[in-house]
Chains A and B, each alone.
Chain A
Amino acid sequence: MGYTIFPNLLAMILSVNILINSGFLEWLFSLFLGNLKLPLELLSLIATKPISGSAALALLNNIYQTYGVDSFVSLLASTIEGCTDTTFYVIALYYGSVGIKKTRYALATSLFGDFVGIFTSIVLCYILFS
């Protein structure tokens, strides 16, 4: 099983890192979510979580340190961290491990789930905590 996982992991980490470090992802998010009035740290958390769980956890640590663990932003970040999954990672790993080449709409349904989850947590946080 180990042999089949590694090439997929390598492809994912290489391509995702290129995309993040080129500054493209940041630009894309500022374009679509710029007027939502969410702190930039939350946007990068949302952008990072589907790709890398450990990177998202590092960002969450950062938010706790900057805003204080019981602040509204930190509560929002906690719920977003809790309700999303490392979607790209899971799909690359799960399908890669059994040699599936065509994943059909796997990514679409999972990302839609993440979107619904994030939307629900933002709405609930504003109702319950603010």
Chain B
Amino acid sequence: MVNRLWTYFIIIGILYGLLTGHSMAVNETILKSAKSSLEVFIQIFPVIALWLGIMNIATQSGLLDKLAKLLSHLLHPLFPDVPKNHRAFGYMSSNIIANMFGLGSAATPFGLKAMTSLQELNCNKKVASKSMLTFTTLNTAAITIIPTTLIALRIMYGSIDPTKTVLVTLLSTVMATIFSLILDKILARRL
């Protein structure tokens, strides 16, 4: 679905650009995008490498197990297809905990590891499993207790009350999580 979406984006973009006289801008984009995606890759790759390393330390010291045990009791009912002691729960919990503190870039390596371990349980390796779908739903809705990056930015701009929006963010991410999980479970039944 996602791969097809990129094709639609390109076709719609080129057609719309031609019709409205933005074809120069589109041309320029095509030429520049390969370079800018390499730049993004170079930016995120070291972060992923660093956090994969830290995650290894957290795993081997047993920290991940402890965190996982705390949170996975809550996660078990959402993932009926994953065995209760599977390490996927550890990675998913760490991913969600990093998201709760607004550390999106720290959450990504945990998320990628979680996907790898969910893929081990997946019987059709080309098609997303129910557990994967529930996980990405939970991940993108991302309950946020402390939006760290946002507060840092607001402090940088000299806000008189940098944490003013924290409660609203928490409530709206809780709502997003509840409703998208309901949709996920409804759609999963139809598979």
Residues of B within 8 A of A27 (CB): 16
What 1/0 flags go to A2-34 for Cβ under 8 Å of B? 100110011111111111111110010000000
Would B10 and A85 count as touching, CB distance under 8 A?
Answer: no
- The distance from the CB of A17 to the nearest CB of chain B, in whole angstroms, is 5
Would A124 and B177 count as touching, CB distance under 8 A?
Answer: no
Instruction: For B180, give its contact among A20, A116, A129 (CB under 8 Å).
Output: A116
Would B161 and A53 count as touching, CB distance under 8 A?
Answer: no
What is the size category of the interface that chain B forms with chain A? 35 or more
Residues of B within 8 A of A13 (CB): 33, 36-37, 40
Q: Is B127 an interface residue (CB 8 A)?
A: yes
Q: Is A40 an interface residue (CB 8 A)?
A: no
A98, B113: Cα distance in complex, Å: 10
Closest residue of chain A to B1 (Cβ to Cβ) is A103
Residues of A within 8 A of B180 (CB): 109-110, 112-113, 116
Within 8 A of B (CB), among A23-71: 23-24, 27, 53-54, 57, 60-61, 64-65, 69-70
Closest residue of chain A to B191 (Cβ to Cβ) is A104
Instruction: For A99, give its contact among B125, B137, B149 (CB under 8 Å).
Output: B125
- The distance from the CB of A127 to the nearest CB of chain B, in whole angstroms, is 9
Closest residue of chain A to B32 (Cβ to Cβ) is A17
Closest residue of chain A to B109 (Cβ to Cβ) is A1
Would B127 and A121 count as touching, CB distance under 8 A?
Answer: no
Would B141 and A11 count as touching, CB distance under 8 A?
Answer: no
Within 8 A of B (CB), among A65-110: 65, 69-70, 75, 78-79, 81-83, 85-88, 90-110
Would A70 and B159 count as touching, CB distance under 8 A?
Answer: yes
Contact of A60 with B128 at beta-carbon distance under 8 Å, contacts A18-B30, A22-B25, A110-B180 already known: no
4 closest pairs, A vs B, by CB? A113-B180, A117-B176, A18-B13, A22-B17
Could you list 11 examples of A-B contacts with CB < 8 Å? A2-B41, A6-B38, A13-B40, A18-B17, A81-B150, A95-B115, A110-B137, A110-B141, A112-B179, A113-B180, A116-B175
Known: A100-B132, A106-B132, A113-B180. 15 other contacts (CB 8 A): A10-B37, A10-B38, A18-B26, A19-B13, A21-B28, A22-B25, A69-B157, A78-B150, A82-B172, A83-B144, A94-B132, A95-B2, A109-B136, A113-B176, A117-B175
Which residues of A line the B interface, CB within 8 A? Answer: 1-2, 5-6, 9-24, 27, 53-54, 57, 60-61, 64-65, 69-70, 75, 78-79, 81-83, 85-88, 90-110, 112-114, 116-118, 120-121, 124-125, 128-129
Which residues of B line the A interface, CB within 8 A? Answer: 1-3, 5-7, 9-10, 12-14, 16-17, 20, 22, 25-26, 28-30, 32-34, 36-38, 40-41, 45, 48, 102, 104, 108, 111-112, 115-116, 118-119, 125-128, 132-133, 136-137, 139-142, 144, 147, 149-150, 153-154, 157-161, 164-165, 168-169, 171-173, 175-177, 179-180, 183-184, 187, 191
